[in-house]
């Protein structure tokens, strides 16, 4: 398992030097400053590679850009509206440029409008640190009373609606503004953000797109780009919905094992693969992460390892980002399944036997609380998570467990 770390570029408050001290082997990054739908040029790709390869003092870091996260899929492609065909062609050109630069793995998602959704970006936990949280009642208050989406109340139980009504009535103007910013925060590092009017406009169009149509649009996209990825030696890996259930009346098509299997079967080539995110998928009580890894592992090209603590047994329920070895996912069993898959790949002679992973998200602890990096991406919280994950890997790879690198 190759240890990687997400980096948002020169403006990231977590530096290349910080990553080296954390023991990172490779870097996950993207050109967030390039507008979605435009081509990633060789010059911009090379610039990011140089930035990753250089320490703060100008000396070589020894690090490489291993995984792209994300080469974003435009809303036009998802909805098959406007310039969607040109955007697909631009996507293909960017893929060629990345392949020419020696980068082989491209993570992306097909989530409508928002890349992830939380109601709190700095929820305080028992030990005094903070984390991101999704509060079902707060979200209902936003959807029903702030966004005022038509039919929003019908998507929640009577109990949730009653609690949301009460909470909104007691909510200060400052909290209303904060909640709106949190829900529409989007991808850290991105130049894009959404106003309420932007969100309403997108929702109006998606209201006419059922899940079956969105899945068909996704398959059409993959039929265009996955064969090229195979030709170029690239591996595409789709990130799951976050959270993995419907919000704002939007269609969700990558929330369960069945969703992934449908897409893998529809475009059945090795380049069409999976980003297995244990945090996103783990927010649903009916997702079996170790089982998914064992059943779909052949197509897992990238791993996000994090944990969430579900606060109810409901599919649509509150949860918060837990410590990497806390929460509802059996991380030891999941990593054991990953190592089993790697052993199978080595035996088969596959060049992708070592699956890159990153310690996804992390709680803000110690000096993280002063640094205020991108929500979910603190230095020390992720370092702690990486150390814990590294400990599990080291133990399971001991010959006594039969999962050593020799297979």
**Catalytic center residues:** 239, 277, 304, 360-361, 377
Rounded-to-5 percentages of helix, strand, coil across the chain: 45, 15, 40
Q: What are phi and psi of 277, to 5 degrees?
A: -100, 110
Cα separations (Å) of 201 from 75, 183, 187, 323? 12, 16, 19, 37
* Number of separate helices (H) and strands (E) present in the chain: 15, 12
Q: CA-CA-CA-CA torsion for 190, 9, 282, 218, nearest 10 degrees?
A: 50
Task: State how far the Cα of 73 lies from the Cα of 57, in Å rounded to an integer.
Answer: 36
DSSP 209-258: --HHHHHHHHHHHHHHHHHHHHHHT-EEEEEPPSSSS--TT----SSSHH
The encoded tokens of residue 233 equal 């030696």
Which 8-state DSSP code applies to residue 97?
A: H
Task: State how far the Cα of 57 lies from the Cα of 244, in Å rounded to an integer.
Answer: 42
Task: State how far the Cα of 188 lies from the Cα of 177, in Å rounded to an integer.
Answer: 19
Cis omega (within 30 of 0) for bond into 342: no
- Show the DSSP H helices in 235-318 as ranges: 257-266, 278-282, 289-296
């Amino acid at each position: 398992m190759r240890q990687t770390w997400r980096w948002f570029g020169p403006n990231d408050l977590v530096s290349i030097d910080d990553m080296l001290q954390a023991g990172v082997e490779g870097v996950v990054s993207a050109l967030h400053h390039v507008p979605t739908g435009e081509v990633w040029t060789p010059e911009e790709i090379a610039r990011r590679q140089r930035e990753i390869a250089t320490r703060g003092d100008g000396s070589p870091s020894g690090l490489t850009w291993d995984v792209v996260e994300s080469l974003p899929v435009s809303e036009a492609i998802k909805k098959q509206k406007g310039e969607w065909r040109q955007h697909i062609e631009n996507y293909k050109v960017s893929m060629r440029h990345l392949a020419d630069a020696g980068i082989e793995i491209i993570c992306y998602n097909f989530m409508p409008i928002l890349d992830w959704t939380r109601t709190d970006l700095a929820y305080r936990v028992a030990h005094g640190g903070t984390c991101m949280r999704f509060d079902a009642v707060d979200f209902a208050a936003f959807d029903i009373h702030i966004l005022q989406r038509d039919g929003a109340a019908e998507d929640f139980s009577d109990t949730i609606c009653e609690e949301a009504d009460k909470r909104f009535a007691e909510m200060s103007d400052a909290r209303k503004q904060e909640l709106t910013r949190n829900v529409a925060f989007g991808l850290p590092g991105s130049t894009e953000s959404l106003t309420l009017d932007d969100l309403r406009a997108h929702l109006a169009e998606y209201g006419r797109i059922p899940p079956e149509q969105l899945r068909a649009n996704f398959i059409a996209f993959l039929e265009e780009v996955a064969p090229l990825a195979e030709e170029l030696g690239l591996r595409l890996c789709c990130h799951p919905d976050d959270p993995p259930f419907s919000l704002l009346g939007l269609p969700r098509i990558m929330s369960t094992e069945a969703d992934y299997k449908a897409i893998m079967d529809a475009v059945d080539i090795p380049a069409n693969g999976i980003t297995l995110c244990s945090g996103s998928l783990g927010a649903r009580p009916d997702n079996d992460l170790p089982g998914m890894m064992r059943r779909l592992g052949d197509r897992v090209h990238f791993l996000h390892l994090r944990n969430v603590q579900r606060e109810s047994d409901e599919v649509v329920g509150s949860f918060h980002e837990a410590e990497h070895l806390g929460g509802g996912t059996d991380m030891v069993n999941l990593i054991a399944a990953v190592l089993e898959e790697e052993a199978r790949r080595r035996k088969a002679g596959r060049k992708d036997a070592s699956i890159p992973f990153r310690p996804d998200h992390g709680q803000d602890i110690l000096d993280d609380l002063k640094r205020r990096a991108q929500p979910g991406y603190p230095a020390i919280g992720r370092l702690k998570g990486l150390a814990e994950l590294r400990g599990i890997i080291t133990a399971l790879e001991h010959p006594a467990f039969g999962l050593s690198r020799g297979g």
